[in-house]
Amino acid sequence: MSDPLKDKSIVLGVCGGIAAYKAADFLRVLVKAGARTRVIMTEAAQAFVGVATFEALSGESVWTDMFGGQDGAPFRHIAWAEEADAVVIAPATANTIGKMAHGIADDPLTTFILAVRAPILVCPSMNTNMYENPIVQENITRLERPGITVLRPEAGSLACGREGPGRLPDVGTIAEEVRSLLCPNDLAGEQILVTAGPTHEPVDPARFISNPSSGKMGHLIARVARRRGAEVVLITGPTALPDPLGVRGIRVKTAQEMFDAVIGAAEKATITIMAAAVADWRPANPLEHKIKKEEMAECLPLERTADILKTLGENKKSQILVGFAAETRDLQQNASAKLNAKNLDLIVGNLIGQADSGFGSDTNQVSLFYRDGRNEALPLMEKSALADVLFDRILEMKQK
């Protein structure tokens, strides 16, 4: 699966708050992801941002006037509602939230909302006092029901000069919430533990042993799992990547730290996917002070790190265990040997050393090796698409 937003029809409702200008940026994110977008603006929204901005970005005329002479006017609310795959209201003001909570339909946005069957994401944004007003809170709670998700505002400094909750979340965060609304919820109830990235094994305070893993594969697995409804813990070695939205991130440096974190979290996990490139060896005696280059050779005796996945395999009960095998040759033989040695259900084998596959790339070309001896060569695909295939196969395995 590519970006869940691709080719989806998303209707964006913009209300009259200072954050209305951020809605234009959000619209750009949707368009860039390949979504078909339509915009409905309340009258107050037009006092903050011009209709032309949204028309230019969406490539469609913006709906502003209930009885205006635009095409298909009398039934536009029905037609747009039927075509929508998801609806986002950002920013959502106290006024529109109040109307939605009580079924009032007196403008294009609230009329349209009553006809929508697709998932709706409401992103309240307003002054802290207004947000914390018990009536507004009651209305927000009333809205939270199947089909409507409320993305709570962030706390921070607001345009009115106050500090507190009320800020519209970052546009990337809103987009990720929409992706998760568009994805199947087929991993709901699963507790998924994912590891990602390399580990750093210190030689001295200035040097470490590591590998080129970027962490992208593990991070995307965690992200896709969360989009599909799982509760996700991501244990990641040093990477530049931020924790995916809605995922509990634990940052570690060394193989031993990763071992401790994984063992601590593994008990609860129903599915564990070890995508991290854990160092197999570490300096036996990391030094407190920087060693001089002339002394380096004598100072580098190595010792094995603990094999995390093997330990999990030895203690495996009903959980699904998935490993990764990065190989430069004899993929089937090496990957199958690791699957057996570590008591895994599935191992993802990839031949590294190609530009568009493996460490650091956005795409990957892998073969899946199963416990029963089957294997499946997958075509080159985006790492996020691979994460989806992986979960499809894991769910098939769980159904058997």
Longest dimension (CA), the chain: 84
Q: For ligand CTP, which is the closer residue by CB, 214 or 305?
A: 305
Provide the minimum distance between the beta carbon of 258 and ligand CTP in the complex, in angstroms, as a whole number.
8
User: Is residue 386 a contact point for ligand CTP (CB under 6 A)?
Assistant: no
Provide the minimum distance between the beta carbon of 338 and ligand CTP in the complex, in angstroms, as a whole number.
5
Cβ-in-10-Å burial (0-12, 13-18, 19+) of 300 comes to middle
Give the residue, chosen from 19, 30, 182, 325, that forms a contact with ligand CTP under the rule CB under 6 A: 325
Give the C-alpha separation, 398 to 400, whole Å: 6
Give the residue, chosen from 308, 339, 366, 368, that forms a contact with ligand CTP under the rule CB under 6 A: 308
* Chain position carrying tokens 């962030």: 154
User: Is residue 278 a contact point for ligand CTP (CB under 6 A)?
Assistant: yes
Q: Is 123 considered catalytic here?
A: no
User: Is residue 109 a contact point for ligand CTP (CB under 6 A)?
Assistant: no
Give the residue, chosen from 323, 357, 384, 393, that forms a contact with ligand CTP under the rule CB under 6 A: 323
Give the residue, chosen from 170, 243, 280, 382, that forms a contact with ligand CTP under the rule CB under 6 A: 280
For residue 130, report the phi and psi dihedrals to the nearest 5 degrees. -65, -45
Bridge partners (DSSP) of residue 198 are 277
User: Is residue 224 a contact point for ligand CTP (CB under 6 A)?
Assistant: no
Contact 299, 284 (CB under 8 A): no
User: Is residue 305 a contact point for ligand CTP (CB under 6 A)?
Assistant: yes
The residue type at 255: A
The residue type at 280: D
Provide the minimum distance between the beta carbon of 326 and ligand CTP in the complex, in angstroms, as a whole number.
5
For the beta carbon of residue 156, count every other beta carbon within 10 angstroms.
11
Which residue among the candidates 123, 160, 183, 299 is catalytic per the annotation? 160
Give the C-alpha separation, 279 to 284, whole Å: 13
Q: For ligand CTP, which is the closer residue by CB, 148 or 309?
A: 309
Q: How far is CA 31 from CA 62, 120, 170, 175, 292, in A?
A: 15, 18, 16, 11, 54
Contact 193, 187 (CB under 8 A): no
The residue type at 82: E
User: Is residue 198 a contact point for ligand CTP (CB under 6 A)?
Assistant: no
Bridge partners (DSSP) of residue 235 are 195, 250
User: Is residue 307 a contact point for ligand CTP (CB under 6 A)?
Assistant: yes
Q: For ligand CTP, which is the closer residue by CB, 293 or 329?
A: 329
- The strand order across the sheet containing 148-150 reads 36-41, 9-14, 86-92, 120-124, 148-150
- CA 201 remoteness from chain centre: 29
User: Is residue 236 a contact point for ligand CTP (CB under 6 A)?
Assistant: no
Q: For ligand CTP, which is the closer residue by CB, 97 or 274?
A: 274
Q: For ligand CTP, which is the closer residue by CB, 35 or 255?
A: 255
- Number of residues forming the site for ligand CTP (CB under 6 A): 14
Cβ-in-10-Å burial (0-12, 13-18, 19+) of 4 comes to buried
Give the residue, chosen from 38, 282, 338, 383, that forms a contact with ligand CTP under the rule CB under 6 A: 338
* The two three-digit tokens of residue 127, written as one number: 């002054």
Q: For ligand CTP, which is the closer residue by CB, 204 or 257?
A: 257
User: Is residue 326 a contact point for ligand CTP (CB under 6 A)?
Assistant: yes
Provide the minimum distance between the beta carbon of 309 and ligand CTP in the complex, in angstroms, as a whole number.
3
User: Is residue 359 a contact point for ligand CTP (CB under 6 A)?
Assistant: no
Closest CA to 326 of 367, 271, 356, 273: 367
- CA 91 remoteness from chain centre: 22
User: Is residue 309 a contact point for ligand CTP (CB under 6 A)?
Assistant: yes
Catalytic residues: 160
Judged by the rule CB under 6 A, the positions of this chain that interact with ligand CTP are 255, 274, 276, 278, 280, 305, 307-309, 323-326, 338
